[in-house]
Amino acid sequence: MLPFLGRRLLQLIPTLFFVSVIIFGLQQLLPGDPALIMAGEDRDPEVIAQIRAQYRLDQPIPVQYVYWMKGVLSGDLGESMRIKKPVLDLVLEKLPVTAQLAGMAILIALVIGVGAGIVSAVYKDTWLDYGANIFALWGISTPNFWLGILLIFLFSVQLGWLPASGYVRPSEDLRASLASTIMPAFVLGNAIAAVLMRHTRGAMLQVLSSDYVRTARAKGLLERSVVLKHAMRNALTPVITLGALELGTLLSGAVLTEQIFTVPGFGKLIVDAVFNRDYAVVQGVVLVTATAYITLNLLADIAYMLANPRLRS
C-alpha cells in the first residue's frame, strides 16, 4: 500500500510538469497580443514596449516559462494584466464557489445515479427499471442550459421558491447559500447522475448474477444484505473512479451553467480571461484545475484499492 502511494506521488511530478508545459505552450498559440490589448486605443509603441518588458513578453518563450514556473513553485501565479490583481487571489476567491457547486452536484449525482442504478438492476424488467432508464435517457439528452432555464422558470418565476441568480457564501447564510446553488448543482448533477445510473445498473446486473451472490443467497441472507453488502461493494468500485473523474471535470468550471445562474465560479473567470488574453489568469486557473483533476484521479485509485482487497496486497 505505502510503496504504491509513494510511486503514485512520484508519478505526479512528471505529469504536472508536462501539464504545465502544455498549458504554457497552448497559451502562446492563442491569436492576439496581450500587450496590444493592454495598450488601449492609442497603441503607443513606447507603452507597448514597456508592457512587454514589464510582463517579460519580450523574452524567449522558454525563459518566460522558467520565470512563470519559478513563481508558481513559490506560490505566485502571476498577476492579472486586466484587473491588476494577483492570480492566486482570483483563484482563491472563485475556487470555493466552484468547489461548493461541484461538491453539491456530485452528491446529487451519486445519490440519484447510484440509487436509481441499484433499483433498476434489482427490479430489472419491471416498471421501476423502465422508469429509471427513461430518466437516464432524459438526463443524458437534456441540454444544461435548457434545463437551467426551465428550472428558473418553474422555481423562481412561477413558484418563487428559489432565487433565479446570484450566489451567497455558506459562511454568510447557509440556507441562502444552498438556495442559490441548488438549481445549478442539480442541473450539473442531473447529467452525471444519468451516466452513473447506467454504469451502476450494468455493474450491478453483472454482480447480481455472479456465483458469490448465489452463495450469499444459499446462506439464507436477507435480500437486503445480499444486494447492499455482497453485490454493491463489488459493483461500485468502477463507479467510484467514474465519479471522481466527473468531479474533476466539474471543478474545471461549468461555463454555461454558471452563466445562466450568474454564479461567479471558475467557468466565468476563465472565459473572461481567454477573451482578454489575460495569460497569467488562464495559466493559473488551468494549472489549478489540472492539479485538482490529477489529485482526484489519485484519490480514486486509492479508494479503488481500499475497496478491493485483491489490489491491496
Partner 1 sequence: MTEPLLAVDDLRVAFAGDDGRTTLAVDGVGFALQRGRTLGIVGESGCGKSVTSLSIMGLLPKQSARVSGSVMFEGTDLLRAADRTLRDLRGDRLAMIFQEPMTSLNPSYTVGDQIAEAVIRHRGASPREARAHAIEMLRHVRIPSPEQRVDDYPHHLSGGMRQRAMIAMALACDPQLLIADEPTTALDVTIQAQILDLMRRLRAETGTAIILITHDLGVVAELCDDIVVMYAGQVVERAPVAALFAQPQHPYTVGLLGSIPRLDQRRDRLAAIDGTVPNMTAPPPGCRFARRCPFADERCRREAPPPVEVAAGHMSRCWRAPLEHLVQ
Give the footprint of partner 1 on this chain (CB under 8 A): 125, 210-212, 214-222, 225, 230, 233-234, 307-310, 313
Q: Is 262 left (phi over 0), alpha (psi -120 to 50) or beta?
A: left
Among 248, 100, 112, smallest CA distance to 169 is for: 100
Nearest to 91 by CA among 258, 294, 290, 270: 270
Closer of 97 and 208 to partner 1 (Cβ): 208
CA distance 127 to 125: 7
Question: Which one-letter DSSP state was computed for residue 79?
Answer: B
Give the CA distances from residue 150 to residues 106, 145, 154, 288, in Å, rounded to whole numbers and listed in that order: 21, 9, 6, 32
Provide, rounded to whole angstroms, the least separation between the CB of residue 309 and partner 1. Answer: 4
Between 210 and 249, name the residue whose CB sits nearer to partner 1.
210
> Could you tell me the smallest distance in angstroms from the CB atom of residue 237 to partner 1?
9
Least spacing, CB of residue 171 vs partner 1, in Å: 40
Provide, rounded to whole angstroms, the least separation between the CB of residue 112 and partner 1.
Answer: 25
Q: Work out how close the CB of 127 gets to partner 1 at its nearest, in angstroms, rounded to a whole number.
A: 14
Closest CB 220 distance from partner 1, rounded Å: 3
Decide: 308 and 238 in contact? Cβ < 8 Å. Answer: no
Q: For residue 233, give the H/E element and its range.
A: helix 232-251
Give whichever of 27 and 120 is closer to partner 1, judged by the CB atom: 120
Task: Using alpha carbons, select from 294, 273, 275, 296 the residue that is nearest to residue 283.
Answer: 273
In which residue are the cell numbers 510511486 written? 7
Q: What's the CA gap between 107 and 271, in Å, rounded?
A: 26
* Residue 21 or 228 having the CB closest to partner 1: 228
Q: Distance between CA 21 and CA 236 in Å, rounded?
A: 36
The secondary structure element, H or E, covering residue 43 is: none
- The smaller minimum CB distance to partner 1, of residues 178 and 302, is found at 302
| 60 vs 220 by CB, closer to partner 1 | 220
Residues 6+ apart with CB under 8 A from 98: 250, 251, 253, 265, 266, 267
Least CB distance to partner 1 at residue 271 (A):
44
CB nearer to partner 1: give 42 or 211.
211
Which triple of cell numbers denotes residue 126? 419491471
C-beta of 84 vs 310, nearer to partner 1: 310
CB of 311 to partner 1, least distance (A): 10
